[in-house]
Amino acid sequence: MIMRRRRKHHPKVVRYRSNPQFRWTIAGYYVGGKRVRKFFKTQDEAERFIHRLEITTENLGTRATLIDQGLHVMAIECTDHLAPYGKTVADATHFYLKHLNTMQRSCTINELIPVFIESTEDDGVGHLYLRDLRYRLKRFGEDFGNQIIATITNPQCSQWLKTIPYAPGSRNAFRRVLKRFLAYAVSEGYCGENPMANTTKARETDEPVEILTPKQLEDLLENASSEIIPFLAIGAFAGLRTAERFRLDWSEIHLERGFIEVKASKSKTARRRLGTILPNLRAWLEPCLQKQGKIVPHRLAAKMEAACKAADIECWPNNGLRHSYASYHLAKFKDAAALALQMGHATTDMLFDHYREVVTPQDADKYWTIAPKSSPDEAVETPVPALELQNVPELDCKSATRQQHDLPSRVRTFQGEQLGRPPL
Q: What is the DSSP secondary-structure string of 22-76? A: --EEEES-EETTEE---EESSHHHHHHHHHHHHHHHHHHHHHHHHS-HHHHHHHH
Q: What predicted TM-score, i.e. pTM, was given to this entire model?
A: 0.57
H-state helical runs in 164-208? 168-187
Residue 227 has pLDDT above 70, yes or no: yes
Pairwise CA distance, residues 5 & 200, whole Å = 56
Q: Pairing relation of β-strands 273-276 and 259-262? A: antiparallel
* No. of helices (H) and no. of strands (E), the chain: 16, 10
Superfamily of domain covering 214-419: Intergrase catalytic core (1.10.443.10)
On the question of pLDDT at 393 being above 80, the answer is no
Average pLDDT, the chain: 81
Among the residue ranges 198-207, 210-219, 383-392, 410-419, the one predicted with the least confidence is 410-419
The CA-atom distances, in angstroms, between 380 and each of 19, 239, 412 are 96, 22, 11
List of E strands, 281-391: none
Selection from 61, 10, 21 nearest residue 45 by Cα: 21
What is the structure's pLDDT at 356? 65
Pick from 394, 396, 328, 393: nearest CA to 357: 328
d(CA 273, CA 330): 19
Which residues, in sequence order, are CB contacts of 53 under 8 Å at separation 6+?
11, 29
How far the first Cα of the chain sits from its last, in Å, is 102
Question: pLDDT value at position 32?
Answer: 59
Mean pLDDT value of segment 66-87? 82
- 136, containing H or E segment: helix 127-144
Q: Does residue 406 register a pLDDT over 80?
A: no
Helix (H) / strand (E) element for 260: namely strand 259-262
Contact of 323 with 350, CB cutoff 8 Å: no
User: Which range in 98-102, 259-263, 418-422 is most confidently predicted, on average pLDDT?
Assistant: 259-263
Domain ranges of the chain: 12-66, 109-187, 214-419
Report whether pLDDT(73) > 90: no
Residue 250: what pLDDT? 95
> Nearest Cα to 316, choosing from 326, 306, 331, 328?
306
Dihedral, CA of residue 85, residue 89, residue 93 and residue 95, to nearest 10: -10
Look at residue 235 and give its three-state secondary structure: helix
Query: Judging by DSSP bridges, how do beta strands 39-40 and 412-414 pair with one another?
Result: unpaired
Calpha distance 180→120 (Å, rounded): 10
Percent of the chain predicted with pLDDT > 90? 47
What's the rounded mean pLDDT across residues 242-248? 92
Question: 40 - beta bridge partners?
Answer: 24
> CA 223, 225, 228: angle at the middle one, nearest 5?
115
DSSP string, 236-291: HHH---HHHHHH-BGGGEETTTTEEEE-GGGSTTS--EEEE--HHHHHHHGGG--S
Looking at residue 294, the DSSP 8-state letter turns out to be: B
Q: How far, in Å, CA of 94 to CA of 74, rounded? A: 17
pLDDT-based confidence at residue 160 (cuts at 50, 70, 90): very high
Cβ neighbours of residue 244 closer than 8 Å, sequence gap 6 or more: 262, 266, 267, 268
With H, G, I as helix, E, B as strand and everything else as coil, classify residue 265.
helix
pLDDT of residue 380: 41
Q: Which of 170, 168, 167, 112 has its CA nearest to residue 136?
A: 170
Residue 422: what pLDDT? 32
pLDDT of res. 17: 87
Is it the case that residue 13 has pLDDT exceeding 70? yes
CATH class of 109-187: mainly alpha
Residues 317-332 pLDDT 10s:
888 999 999 999 999 9
Task: Please indicate whether residue 409 or residue 190 has the higher confidence score (pLDDT).
Answer: 190
Contact 406, 392 (CB under 8 A): no
Residue 63, pLDDT score: 64
